Amino acid sequence: MGGSGDVEQVGTVIVGGGQAGLAVGYELARRELPFLILDANERVGDVWRNRWDSLRLFTAAGYDGLPGMRFPASRYSFPTKDEMADYLEAYAGRFQLPVRTGVAVDGLSRDGGRYVLTAGDRRFEADRVVVATGAHHIPRVPAFANELDPGIVQVHSADYRNPSQLREGGVLVVGAGNSGAELALEASRGHRTWLSGPHPGHIPVRHGPAAARFFFPVVRFVGHRVLTMDTPVGRKVLPKLRARGAPLIRIKPKEIAAAGIERVPRVVGVRDGLPLLEDQRVLQVANVAWCTGFHDDYSWIDLPVFGEDGQPVHWRGVVADEPGLYFVGLEFTYAFSSVVINGVGRDASHIARHIASPGRNGRPATPRPAGTRRPEAAERVRSGAAGS
């Protein structure tokens, strides 16, 4: 890396210093390749620190380590979100990964042969860029949320920390996936609680140390080795999983029922300032917790690399149309496991290998010819035509 006026010249810029960006950094450092990680947050691990207070990982510590450093806890215990945050910070420190925090990249484009990144008035030029900004960007809330009575407290799961944010009275949790089920259980201890939306199914095994010992290895094998873009079953199942969302991992439907939480259909609008359900019922609630997921935000990337669905077109994170551009940490970058801590290392290693093997023109090689069938397969998956 070298300076030139106000522009920093870097071999590879990794945008995002969460688990995905750090794992790529580790793999590049191992290969002695120059790179810089830019992260918008003040501290490594802040994404985890900023999640709700009672959150524990659903994956056991034995599955929470990144390449080169195990998670420092009993293999079958479940770390808190702050322990995970501290682990990431320690990881960056241990391998002396060059992370520059407090730098929010707001532009990525190409100028001739180089990538140009901007962050306010700062400018970086790089041969390669790895986008590792996470799969959860902008909280998704329906437009009609604005029409709810201003007296109703509204909070998205991204901003929820603990029940002290709720006011007295009923709580409607919208979205019955993992976040919704966990928030509803917590809210139900002090409030009458409704949980809206279709049940995504659940893993029929009691979550805990025994599951971590005997069941997780099976889940890991299936998520990491079987459900990949390289297997027919993976290409068939992954788009369906993306559309449906993950099944409940920790919480079982019977716990939801035992807590007195009432399951209700989707919220479809607002009537007289109150949430209106699909069955035309109106709920008299004082709080609405939106557990409705996130939109991606790639508005800062000015490169023609996105498909009709707004997702980057890539194969295993390698963007063939923009040599030197990579994505990591996306849902199903390569496999069901790509978005979890234990799976991201393999994707990171694949990208680092690609960066380390420049093509004849000095740029990184595009996917090898044998892979040309594969991007098409990926394209079929993205368009939802897989398995048809």
CB of 388 to ligand FAD, least distance (A): 29
3-state DSSP assignment of residue 373: helix
Retrieve residue 97's tokens.
């990964």
- Answer yes or no: are the C-beta atoms of 324 and 129 closer than 8 Å: yes
Q: Which is nearer to ligand FAD, 51 or 191 (CB)?
A: 51
For residue 243, count other CB atoms closer than 10 A to its CB: 8
Closer CB to ligand FAD, 244 or 368, in the complex: 244
Report, in Å, the least distance between residue 158 CB and ligand FAD.
8
State in angstroms the smallest separation of the CB of 367 from ligand FAD.
Answer: 22
287 or 338: whose CB is closer to ligand FAD?
Answer: 338
By the 8 A CB rule, do 200 and 246 touch?
yes
d(CA 357, CA 368): 11
Question: What residues contact residue 198 under an 8 Å CB cut-off, 6+ apart?
Answer: 176, 266
| Pick 1 or 40: Cβ nearer ligand FAD | 40
Q: What are phi and psi of 348, to 5 degrees?
A: -60, -40
- E-strand ranges in the chain read 2-4, 7-15, 35-39, 99-101, 107-111, 114-119, 122-131, 138-139, 153-156, 171-174, 193-196, 262-264, 267-271, 274-277, 287-290, 294-295, 325-327
State both tokens at 186: 């917590």
Q: Which is nearer to ligand FAD, 119 or 386 (CB)?
A: 119
Cβ nearer to ligand FAD, comparing 134 with 163: 134
Shortest separation between residue 20's beta carbon and ligand FAD, angstroms? 4
Q: How far is the CB of 289 from ligand FAD (least distance, A)?
A: 13
DSSP of 258-324:
HTTPEEE--EEEEETTEEEETTS-B---SEEEE---EE---TTB-SS-B-TTSPBP-BTTB-TTSTT
State in angstroms the smallest separation of the CB of 300 from ligand FAD. 6
CB of 196 or CB of 337, closer to ligand FAD: 337
Among 47, 275, 289, which Cα is nearest to 180's?
289
Closer CB to ligand FAD, 133 or 366, in the complex: 133
User: If you search the block for the tokens 């939109």, which residue do you land on?
Assistant: 295
Q: Provide the minimum distance between the beta carbon of 105 and ligand FAD in the complex, in angstroms, as a whole number.
A: 4
Burial letters for 181-208: b for 16+ Cβ neighbours within 10 Å, e otherwise? bbbbbbbbeebbbbbbbeebebbeeebe
Distance CA 134, CA 15 (A): 10
SS3 assignment, position 350 = helix
Min separation Cβ 124 and ligand FAD, Å = 11
β-strand pairing of 171-174 with 287-290: parallel
Residues making contact with ligand FAD (CB under 6 A): 15-21, 38-41, 47, 51, 57-59, 104-105, 132-134, 136, 179, 300, 329, 339-342
Cβ at position 341, least distance to ligand FAD in Å: 4
